[in-house]
Every structure is written in C-alpha cells, then in structure tokens.
Amino acid sequence: MTTTEEKLMGESPETTGSGLVAILRGITPGEVAAVGAALVEAGFHAIEVPLNSPDPFRSLEILAANFGAVCPIGAGTVLRVEEVERARAAGATIIVSPDTNPEVIAATVAGGMRPYPGVATPTEAFAAVRAGARSLKLFPSEALGISGMRAVRAVLPAEVEMLPVGGVDESNLAEWRAAGAGGAGIGTAAYRPGDTADQVRAKARRLAAVWASAR
C-alpha cells in the first residue's frame, strides 16, 4: 500500500476493528463518487450503500471502481441470498443485513466477502457466529445499549466484534468505542439525502476525530 493510500485509509481496520462505516441510505449514482471521495479523505474505513437506495448496484460499482482498493465497499439491507451475488458482482466486499439470516451469512462467506448480520439479542449473536460471521451489527443499538453490548461481548469469542448502528453520532461515538465497539455504522450523522460532498466531508472529519480520540 502506498503512503497516499495509507493516509486515505486512516487507522487500519485490521488492527483496530472495522472502524467507521458510512451508511449512504438514499444516495444516487450521480452523487456517490463525490460523496465517497469525501468520506475516504476524512478517514472513514468503509462505505455501505443500502439496497433500498436508488439504483444501489450501480452506486456500488462506482464506489468499488474508484475506492475499492483503499476502502471496503459494502451492500446494506441485504435480505436474500440472490442479493449477495449481485452485490459481489458489483464489487462489494462486505454484506450488511438488518437481521440474522444464516443463509445470507453462509453465501457471503462462500463468496469471499465479510458478513455483518444484524443482531439485537445474545441468541441472534451466537446464531450469527455459528453461521460464520465475525462482525456483528448491533441493531438497533439503542435497544441493547452500551451496557448490553458489554455483556454480550463478554461471552462471545474474542475475535468477534460488535458495531452499533442506529442513533450513533458525535455525542455518543466515543462512549461506544470506549466500551469495546470494533466500529460503528454511521447513517444520518454522516450523510442525509441532498447533502453536498463538502457537507459530508465536514461531518465525516468530526466523526473520524472523535473516533480517533477515543482509541
């Protein structure tokens, strides 16, 4: 990896967990390259395009072509096995779901990608781990809370990370990291439909600074 690429990546996800994942719900193909560049430059570690966004597979292709070498690109709100293959063909390397679906997890692993299934209970967390997941999306994170995440992490295998999603922003991001979160999914706190790339860059820089300071 070149010095420029290392700078764009910020902290290494391999050594610090998945890090900050931008959730671009509602993004369009026409704006995704500029927004993606702003996020990568600000130090975000991964970018997710939920499949209920306009023309999501085209947005995935654009992100993968422009930033895939330095930033993992993921498909979000993946509910079916057939969507896993379409996302892989578009260049996604991570698959994010709101639920725990063993078939989606297995298909993701078989395709050489990393699954991020949604969990809200210890039962769902262990079901996801048994299916092959090593990164768990705590969703909605408000439901279990920071103390709940600590309790679940205490009984999970050490190599399994948890990433809170839902309601995570500048006000609580440091607390989540201090509690042991391996990363966090950031939605409207980083991007709202209609935001310009400059607006996204400014918000992303503040979030990345909070994450880094809480290390």
pLDDT tens for 145-190 read 999 999 999 999 999 999 999 999 999 999 999 999 999 999 999 9
pLDDT tens-digit series, residues 14-62: 445 999 999 999 999 999 999 999 999 999 999 999 999 999 999 999 9
Model confidence, pTM: 0.92
If pLDDT is split at 50, 70 and 90, which confidence band does 13 have? very low
Residues noted as catalytic: 48, 137
DSSP letter at 25 equals T
Nearest Cα to Cα of residue 190 among 176, 211, 175: 211
Distance CA 153, CA 162 (A): 7
Q: How far apart are the first and last CA of the chain?
A: 23
Question: Which residue type occupies 60?
Answer: L
Collapsed DSSP state (helix, strand, coil) of residue 168: coil
What phi-psi label fits residue 132: left (phi over 0), alpha (psi between -120 and 50 degrees) or beta? left
